[in-house]
Amino acid sequence: MRYSELIQAYFDRSTALQWYWTIYIIVIGGVLAFSSFRQHKDLLVTILVTALYLCFAYKNLGAIEATIVERQAILGVIKAYPTSTADPANLASLRQKLEPSLVSQEPEDIHNFHLACDLMTIAAIWVKEFRRKKPEPST
């Protein structure tokens, strides 16, 4: 693989990672909006929403962690890439400017952040459930 292809692969994985986070935030917003608009208590619906959200969060976290591992592997190859003999000055200059900006994230940090957001989202769902009115008995 050429250096330019490695850089492209790194940024492709970065774009995928950004999309996973975007989808995650949209789903959290949707779940909280759904919980906010409900007017009456319904324990079964709250349990179902919580279970579905947990399933989504689990799969989303797995995708994010896999993408981070892929990015770290590509970054390792980029940093170990040998300087070409055909154009060493240009490549060395590019590497000197580009490589310090290519950051690596630790999967543990991402895991902890995702888990904290998941717990806060679930807490918000249940707080909203307990603060709702009971449905009026039909006469």
Annotated domain spans of the chain? 3-84+94-131
Share of the chain above pLDDT 70, in %: 94
Task: Give per-residue pLDDT as tens, 47-106.
Answer: 999 999 999 999 999 999 999 999 999 999 988 887 765 566 677 777 788 888 888 888
For residue 139, the model assigns a pLDDT of 58
Give, in order, the Cα–Cα distances in Å from 48 to each of 8, 31, 52, 60: 41, 11, 6, 18
For residue 113, the model assigns a pLDDT of 96
> For the chain, what is the mean pLDDT?
89
Instruction: Assign 3-state DSSP to the chain and report helix, strand, coil percentages, each to 5.
Output: 80, 0, 20
For residue 25, the model assigns a pLDDT of 97
Backbone φ and ψ for 133, nearest 5 degrees, come out as: -75, 150
Both ends of the chain: CA-CA distance in Å?
74
Q: What is the pTM of this model?
A: 0.83
